[in-house]
Amino acid sequence: MPISHRLKLRLLTSALAVVATAASAFISTPAGASTLPPDAPPSITDPLGLIGRLAPGILAETSIPPTPAEAAAVEAETGVAPFRADLPTDPAHPLLLSPAETEGAGLPVAVTIDGARGQARLEQGITAFADPGASSAAYLQPVQNGVRMLTALADATAGEDFSYTFDVPAGTYSTALPGGDTILSDASHHYIGSLGEAWAVDARGRALPTSYSWSGSTLTQHVELSADTAYPVLIDPTWYYTYDFSATLPGYHATYPKATDTAVDRLLHTCFNCYFPINGAPRSYPFDGQVLLLNASPFSLELTAAPVLMQTANQGAMQFVAQAGHFDGAGSMITFSWYNDPSGYIHLYVHAKILRDLGVFLNVQNSHIAGANWLLYWQRVADHASGSSGGGGV
């Protein structure tokens, strides 16, 4: 939902403030997946040991969400409510998630992990529901702007389907986007939140075939197990919040609200930096392998180095990978996807995740600035992408 002083925010030209890690777990195999032989693998009742063995790279991504008192203090100082995650201590109770209140933000949700059983145990920020002798265990790992909902399978009796019930509006539907993300939207095509690409790994470090399905209010992750699967197995849907802009949102208007993604692509190829709102962007559309010397400062005479490498993701999404000297650290990444919803409205979806955890105060300020930046990007494009399926601002 738009925030106050929207027109003023549109004029901000600031940092490429929110970026996503290139080594994140939103790929078919988790970052740092183990390739060690599965001798004496940890029990599923040992979440840190098991994650450290099968997917060690994700342990460092644990990010403790603010307490209610800390969140209130951040909002009082910055004027922006930060991301909130209230993790349950009873498996029958839902996980409560709320996005930071920025432009293009999603909606609060409650998620129940259908297969969670047992007494909650907290270890280094990770909540585990792991009954001794059970065939599966559930782990909740808070990450920046989201929560990773891991399930560990002790053996084949655990099954192949694992479900999560979302308290979302009737008519909610899912959309698979370039780059691997799946987003949930309500019946009015408002963005609710995102799911990282499904992954599953066995005790030998082998990636297993896995996928999502969405029915009613239930997300199910299916993993294909076989006779040679080495147990335990670890699977992961990750829910997180990023940015999505369209004229379906109250207060958002555009000259061409239903521009096609083809019209957008054609427009950006005519003059990229006429529309992309970061200093240092080239006039010509970037090509794969090109390094862009972006300036993260809103002032052209000041330099905050933000060099990025351009690459094209699956199905054509643009990705910028941070290079050495980038203020957010080499290896960070951000993905831009343009898509049309079932009613034809053009959306800009920005997959963004901060590589460095700067603390809740700076994180929420960066999110606030980034939301204004990407709103400006969508606005410029949607106001000029003629040759669309519908004009006449809404």
pLDDT in tens, 163-203: 999 999 999 999 999 888 999 999 999 999 999 999 999 99
- Over range 1-15, report the average pLDDT: 37
Question: Is pLDDT larger for residue 189 or for residue 296?
Answer: 189
What pLDDT shows up at residue 41?
Answer: 80
Is the model's pLDDT at 36 over the cut of 80?
no
Per the CB < 8 A criterion, the answer to whether 51 and 139 are in contact is yes
Residue 279 DSSP class: B
What pLDDT shows up at residue 8?
Answer: 35
What pLDDT shows up at residue 352?
Answer: 80
Name the token pair of 361: 């105060």
Is the model's pLDDT at 289 over the cut of 90?
yes
Strand, coil or helix: 257? coil
Per the CB < 8 A criterion, the answer to whether 370 and 18 are in contact is yes
Distance CA 114, CA 159 (A): 13
Where are the chain's structural domains? 14-20+245-382, 25-241
Distance CA 215, CA 74 (A): 37
Distance CA 201, CA 337 (A): 28
Is the model's pLDDT at 59 over the cut of 80?
yes
- pTM of this prediction? 0.85
Q: What is the pLDDT of residues 216-241, one digit of tens each?
A: 999 999 999 999 999 999 999 999 99
Distance CA 371, CA 363 (A): 12
Q: What is the pLDDT of residues 110-145, one digit of tens each?
A: 999 998 999 999 999 999 999 888 999 999 999 989
Question: Is pLDDT larger for residue 28 or for residue 391?
Answer: 28
What pLDDT shows up at residue 24?
Answer: 32
CA distance readout (Å), 258 to 1, 173, 315, 351, 379: 19, 20, 20, 21, 12
Question: Is pLDDT larger for residue 108 or for residue 326?
Answer: 108
Report the percentage of the chain scoring pLDDT > 70: 87
Q: Burial level of 318, CB count in 10 A (0-12/13-18/19+)?
A: buried
What pLDDT shows up at residue 10?
Answer: 35
Residue 19 DSSP class: -
Distance CA 183, CA 246 (A): 14
Provide the pLDDT confidence category of residue 153 given band limits of 50, 70 and 90: very high
Is the model's pLDDT at 4 over the cut of 60?
no
Distance CA 392, CA 149 (A): 43
Is the model's pLDDT at 3 over the cut of 50?
no
Per the CB < 8 A criterion, the answer to whether 310 and 293 are in contact is no
Q: Which CATH number fits domain 14-20+245-382: 3.30.530, 1.10.10, 3.30.450, 1.10.3470?
A: 3.30.530
What pLDDT shows up at residue 9?
Answer: 35
What pLDDT shows up at residue 30?
Answer: 62
Is the model's pLDDT at 15 over the cut of 60?
no
> Could you tell me which of 352, 36, 370, 28 has the C-alpha nearest to residue 221?
28
Q: What is the pLDDT of residues 68-87, one digit of tens each?
A: 999 999 999 999 999 999 99
Strand, coil or helix: 157? helix
Which is it for strands 182-185 and 173-176: parallel, antiparallel or unpaired?
A: antiparallel
Residue 285 DSSP class: P
> Could you tell me which of 100, 37, 19 has the C-alpha nearest to residue 65?
100
What pLDDT shows up at residue 29?
Answer: 56
Per the CB < 8 A criterion, the answer to whether 311 and 321 are in contact is yes
Per the CB < 8 A criterion, the answer to whether 139 and 128 are in contact is yes
What pLDDT shows up at residue 17?
Answer: 34
Query: Which residue type sits at 161?
Result: D
Long-range contacts of 262-268 (CB under 8 A, 24+ apart): 262/387, 263/385, 263/386, 263/387, 263/388, 264/338, 264/346, 264/381, 264/385, 265/316, 265/338, 266/385, 266/387, 267/381, 267/384, 267/385, 268/381
What pLDDT shows up at residue 200?
Answer: 98
- The mean pLDDT of the chain is 87
Strand, coil or helix: 238? strand
What pLDDT shows up at residue 27?
Answer: 33
- Phi/psi of residue 307, nearest 5 degrees: -70, 135
